[in-house]
Structure 1
Amino acid sequence: MVMSVRGVIAATLLAGSALAATPAFADEADAPKDFTVTGNVALTTDYRFRGVSLSNGDPAIQGGITVSHKSGVYVSTWSSSIHGGDLYGDQELDLIAGWTGGLGSSGLTLDAGMLYYAYPSGHVGDANYWEPYASLAYSVGPAKLKAGVAYAWKQKGLLTIDGYHHDNLYVYGNVDVAIPNTPVTVSGHLGYTDGVLAPCYTCNGDKTGIDYSIGASMTVYGPLSVGVSYIGVSGPSIDSYTNDAVVGTLTASF
């Protein structure tokens, strides 16, 4: 949710929609050149959000569309099937708006924005919530380094077990290394949660937790890519929820 996240997938493809606006007084023939539309659909063996399964350990289907302007501003929507019970239902829908671009000659790339998590098929309570985010990325040879933070303030949609609303802080680091002369990229991730979205907050009240993953991905044909990751979290191992898992994903990008 990164996968996001905010960054895995089960049953019916969840379509996304995006809005694009034409600049005032612009030549209509030139306007499309200012925008780029990208998207993807994916099938994964387990949708893991910050290490925790939101699909009850089952496969999930995901898809998203992003419209980007040459200024760096973008809007995006992403959705996944889930097993969320009465509160969350069977669909997660993320609405995202942000800006990304280089910071002068530093070599750093900033990505910052706001993410809204919605659960349209939930019918008990209100699980929707907002989460602003920011990250910095830097490339060193074949390696891309990234550090990010996301903070959800106290709000109605954040789950509580003591009758009070709580906030949530998530910080993380990623490294992706493209293996020279191959289509393979090796990736590592380490994240730390402090708050109501901690991996074991609902199982034992622990408000902090660590998630981690290591994996590899490769392009297999045209827009198709495959990936496999070993994913885990700190705390008790609960089957189909917080247990360590090997997750495979097939993605088609456009």
Structure 2
Amino acid sequence: MRKSILGLSAVALVALSAPALAQDAPTSEITVTGNAAVVSDYRFRGISQTDKRFALQGGITVAHASGFYASVWGSSIDDYVAAGSDQELDLIGGYSKTFGAATVDVGVLYYYYPGSGGANTDFVEPYASIKGTFGPATAKLSVAYAPKAKALSVGNGKEDNFYVAGDLSASIPNTPLGVSAHLGHSYGPSYLTIGKGYTDWNVGATYTWTHLTFGISYVDTDKALYSPSGRNISKAGVVGSVTASF
């Protein structure tokens, strides 16, 4: 997560023998950032949450210079995801700290599905990651564990889920272009895997123009999973996105 650093400075404005008249205001220790996006398909760990249709997404993050942050992110979803709910809200709290070229990030994510009619759909997922930057490239290793919960059950009582992933990304020097690659594995069985575990991967590219980022990625899994409409929502596909950051 992005952080701001407190910078408190005073600049005296002197005219002839007159005393100081003004000074700069202190820089805030709190940074607020946000984004809004349109995506051609919302893929969560390789599986479509929108029946391979468009989704509207957006989020906001409040970060403190100490490294603590809180975020809210949301997306439209199809009603098969969470007992009829048509939206997902992710409530996130965490801490990020940089040590030299490495950044460690730990936190907890709460998946909330309003409109699910009181069904057991919400669950908590603590996560941790470490990433390192090497010139224009960044490598990241992350893990996430959802403790046993009714929302993750596939008929065997409370179940848990474990996810591990690796990501590579790089900006192309002197251009607005970026490239990325992702490989992850979900360990089941749980509702997130709908049976045994599976692997997901994707490769992508982005183009940034002022506050807009245009993205395209190829997403695939080694799983076959079908929605109520009969679509294979884990099948390979190309996903496009337009994201505005502020």
Tell whether the structures are fold-level matches, with TM greater than 0.5: yes
Partner of residue 178, structure 2? 185
Residue 246 of structure 1 is aligned with which of 226, 234, 238?
A: 238
Distance (Å, rounded) in 1 between the aligned partners of 2:205 and 2:225: 24
CA apart distance, 1:164: 1.4
CA apart distance, 1:124: 5.3
Counterpart secondary structure, 2:83: helix
CA apart distance, 1:156: 2.3
Distance (Å, rounded) in 1 between the aligned partners of 2:72 and 2:116: 19
Counterpart secondary structure, 1:123: coil
CA apart distance, 1:122: 1.0
CA contact (8 A) 2:110 2:124 kept: yes
Q: 1:161 to 1:197 in 2, by over 3 A?
A: closer
Partner of residue 112, structure 1? 106
CA apart distance, 1:75: 0.4
CA apart distance, 1:141: 1.4
Partner of residue 153, structure 1? 147
Percent identical: 43
Distance (Å, rounded) in 2 between the aligned partners of 1:197 and 1:102: 34
Gap runs ≥5 in structure 2: 1-24
Q: How does 1:7-26 map to 2 (within 5 A)?
A: none
When normalised by structure 1's length, the TM-score is 0.81
Counterpart secondary structure, 1:190: strand
Residue 49 of structure 1 is aligned with which of 44, 50, 74?
A: 44
CA apart distance, 1:162: 2.4
Partner of residue 17, structure 2? none
Partner of residue 210, structure 1? 199
Distance (Å, rounded) in 2 between the aligned partners of 1:173 and 1:74: 23
Distance (Å, rounded) in 1 between the aligned partners of 2:236 and 2:38: 19
Partner of residue 61, structure 1? 56
Residue 134 of structure 1 is aligned with which of 128, 147, 162?
A: 128
Distance (Å, rounded) in 2 between the aligned partners of 1:118 and 1:191: 23
Gap runs ≥5 in structure 1: 1-28
1:123-151 residue CA offsets vs partner (Å, 9 max, x unmatched): 15110000000100101111100000000
Mark the structure with the bigger radius of gyration: 2
CA contact (8 A) 1:133 1:150 kept: yes
Partner of residue 169, structure 1? 162
CA contact (8 A) 2:154 2:190 kept: no
1:20-66 residue CA offsets vs partner (Å, 9 max, x unmatched): xxxxxxxxx75x70100000000000000000000111100000000
CA contact (8 A) 1:88 1:127 kept: no
Distance (Å, rounded) in 1 between the aligned partners of 2:223 and 2:52: 17
Distance (Å, rounded) in 1 between the aligned partners of 2:139 and 2:91: 25
CA RMSD, 1 decimal:
1.7
When normalised by structure 2's length, the TM-score is 0.84
Partner of residue 24, structure 1? none
For 1:235, the aligned partner's letter is K
For 2:129, the aligned partner's letter is S
Counterpart secondary structure, 1:157: helix
